[in-house]
C-alpha cells in the first residue's frame, strides 16, 4: 500500500471519529484495533464503533485542518486542528451527560497510528481534554 493511501486512511479515520460515523470504521481500522485518547480506551473495532457512535449527535459542522501528516513504514503521525459546533448531548458515562451550548469548539491534537494491511491496527490520540471540557461547559 502506498504512503499516500495510508495518509488518506489516517485523515479519514480522524474525520469519521469526530463526526460519529461508526459505519465507515471497518474500512479504516482492523477488527482487533487497540487505541486510546484522553477520554477513550478501546481494544477492538466493536468497542471503537460503540464509542464513536455515542458521539454522533454531539458535534456538527466539523472542520479538520491537518498541519502535518507523515507516514513511514507501518506508522503514521498527524498533527491537526479541529473545530466543531457543540450541538448535541455529550455522554461522558452512564451518570454524566454534558448538555450542548451551541458554541464552536476548537482543539489541537496529534495522532500516532500503526498500520496492518492498510488499516489502522493501533493508535494513540493526544489532545488537551481539560480545555475541550472547559469549552463544552462554558455558558
Dig out the grid coordinates for 101 from the structure: 451550548
Contacts of 138 (CB under 8 A, 6+ apart): 101, 103
Q: What predicted TM-score, i.e. pTM, was given to this entire model?
A: 0.88
User: In whole angstroms, what separates CA 92 from the centre of its chain?
Assistant: 15
Closest to 121 in 3D by CA, of 20, 23, 9, 22: 9
Residue 123 has pLDDT above 90, yes or no: yes
pLDDT of residue 41: 94
pLDDT (mean) for 90-110: 89
Of the candidates 94, 93, 88, which has an alpha carbon nearest to the alpha carbon of residue 136?
Answer: 88
Least confident interval from 8-22, 64-78, 98-112: 8-22
Spell out where the chain has E strands. 29-37, 40-42, 59-72, 75-86, 90-93, 96-98, 104-116, 119-127
Q: In sequence order, what are the beta bridge partners of 72?
A: 75
82 grid coordinates: 479541529
Which pLDDT score is estimated for 18? 83
Average pLDDT, the chain: 91
CATH code assigned to 3-137: 3.10.450.50
Give the span between the Cα atoms of 121 and 34, in whole angstroms.
6
The residues pairing with 59 across neighbouring beta strands, listed in sequence order, are: 86
What is the mean pLDDT of the segment spanning 115-120?
96
Q: What per-residue confidence (pLDDT) applies to 95?
A: 87
Partner residues linked to 137 by β-bridges? none
What's the confidence (pLDDT) of residue 63? Answer: 92
Q: What is the pLDDT of residue 1?
A: 56
Amino acid at each position: 500500500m502506498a504512503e499516500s493511501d495510508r495518509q488518506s486512511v489516517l485523515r479519514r479515520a480522524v474525520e469519521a471519529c469526530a463526526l460519529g460515523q461508526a459505519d465507515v470504521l471497518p474500512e479504516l481500522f482492523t477488527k482487533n484495533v487497540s487505541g486510546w485518547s484522553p477520554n477513550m480506551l478501546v481494544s477492538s473495532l466493536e468497542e471503537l464503533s460503540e464509542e464513536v457512535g455515542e458521539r454522533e449527535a454531539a458535534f456538527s459542522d466539523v472542520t479538520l485542518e491537518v498541519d502535518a501528516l507523515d507516514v513511514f513504514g507501518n506508522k503514521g503521525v498527524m498533527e491537526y486542528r479541529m473545530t466543531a459546533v457543540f450541538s448535541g448531548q455529550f455522554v461522558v458515562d452512564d451518570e454524566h451527560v454534558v448538555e450542548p451550548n451551541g458554541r464552536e469548539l476548537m482543539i489541537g491534537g496529534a495522532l500516532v497510528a500503526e498500520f496492518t494491511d492498510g488499516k489502522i491496527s493501533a493508535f494513540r490520540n493526544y489532545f488537551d481534554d481539560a480545555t475541550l471540557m472547559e469549552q463544552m461547559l462554558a455558558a
